[in-house]
A and B are shown apart, each in its own frame.
Chain A
Amino acid sequence: MGERAREGLRAYRLIAAMWMRSTMMYRTSFALTMAGNLLVTGLDFATILLMFSRVDSLGGWSLPEVAFLYGLSATAFGFADLVLGSMDVLGTRIRDGSFDMLLVRPAPVLAQIGADHFALRRLGRVVQGAVVLGWALVSAGIDWTPAKVLLVPLMLGAGAAIFCALFVAGAAFQFLAQDAAEVQNSFTYGGTTLLQYPPTVFGKDFVRGVTFLLPLAFVNWVPAAYVLGRPYPLRLPAWAAWSPPLVAVVCCALAGLAWRAGLRAYRSTGS
């Protein structure tokens, strides 16, 4: 298992490096898309700023508090997007037959497809999310304790892992429906968007859904409530703030199983 993971990481590094070299063949285009990426994600936050230009709080949360949620969600998602954000090419690769070429190489297929179309410009979202997060950390009036300091990097890591699991699960789904790549956007982009707003904004059943069915709430809502000293959504127990790493491990394991099932189905049907 560990051997396979190491092989996978090595193959990922090699292929990602090739994609970076490819992008660098068109330097101007790279610079433009990088700038564009920063701008897109910037406008994302601009919407929230525009809202707060007309109101003082949203669902009872102030701007710095919402910015805290935004920063956590955008940074965690940004990492996942940087690492696995191009997995939606899988459907195209299956349709045009080039997926088969990945299967005759001596490297795990998940690593190869994960590194496919690796794009450094996606760093834009991480940078932009981190800037907002940095501002929120100093202006949200957090009553810092060592535990809270520890929890921030912990939830960024766990959040990125949860989003990575979503990308892998979405790719696995494409083995079944090659044209339906957009469905995964609902969960990945949709997920990061909804987590930018306080849980108090959403209906109770909706919050239950994104806590227990699709555990997005553990990316930021639950641990952020602890850091900000706010009540937990759904009155979860106090230790729930420390559960994100566990949730992330479970998500990744499930996504891994889904991927294996999808790949097995592909290799028995060839479509």
Chain B
Amino acid sequence: MKPTASDTMSQIQPQADNGPLTKVSKPFPWHIVFFLGPALLIYVAISVYPLLDTLRLGLFSEDETGAKFFVGLQNYSNLLLNEFWSEPFWNALKNNLIFFAIHMALQNPIGLLLAMLLSSPKLRLSGTYRTLIFMPTMLSVVIIGFVWQLLLSPLWGISEDFMYNIGLGNYFDAWLGKESTALITLSLISVWQFVGIPMMLIYAALLNIPEDLTDAAVVDGAKSRHVFWHIKLPLLLPTISMVSILTFVANFNAFELIYAVKGALAGPNFSTDIMGTLFYRTFFGFQLQQGSPTMGAAVATLMFLIILIGVMVYLFFVQRRIQRFQL
């Protein structure tokens, strides 16, 4: 799996010297409509159109009767310049970046490590480990959120007892409740849950490395360290960068975990507020604050841009460099 820019391009090139090409040019190609129609129809109606409509809606505002009127870029200038909007926005963006950074720093390296270990030759029980470690990934984020909330609850004291038993009792704290630790704790919970995905993808990529390649190197007297750094890692880079961009998109789209554990107000003092919870709160309102679909659309549009920029950066810099590296 390597969705590179050039791949996307080549994927679109029809096979030049293929039979059906001449066929197609004759009568109306009903079969293309048949094959492409359903997917295109649903995708455009339920995904493309709403996304475009959201961009449009971001340019409107509502009065108290719910009537919409055009306001140009005012929602955006509010969001970015009015301190009561911009502060939450930048705060959510910052928190989201931290959330992402923790995933990059832990989830993917741990996934890589586990994948390397799992692919050690002739490892017994490899299948069992794989199955069990992947288990949390199968469970709903909401349920995971509740589970960890109970485990970390000072009222229940499971973690506290546990830490006393390993002699770290004094380090126990109400991590989920403190401004300084809540976001990190939630990120770690998320890492714990999703480590299975990079593990599995990298594991699969490792299986795909031809054995003669590594064997040859070993015969040549290369140490396993060298085999890793100079043979395996370069071959894994496309997968790892793919995993990274998937992580990026997933993290900037996250909502469930924070909502389940901290609620839509993402406390304390918005220290766990990320783009997803900000979007929800803006769109639907919270407690005495009224929701605003138009302002929500503006937030969604900015999220759209952030993800787009991230993906562009990935495609133009990271992906390109990796390809050169491979050559």
* Chains A and B belong together in one complex: no
Binding site for A on B (CB under 8 A): none
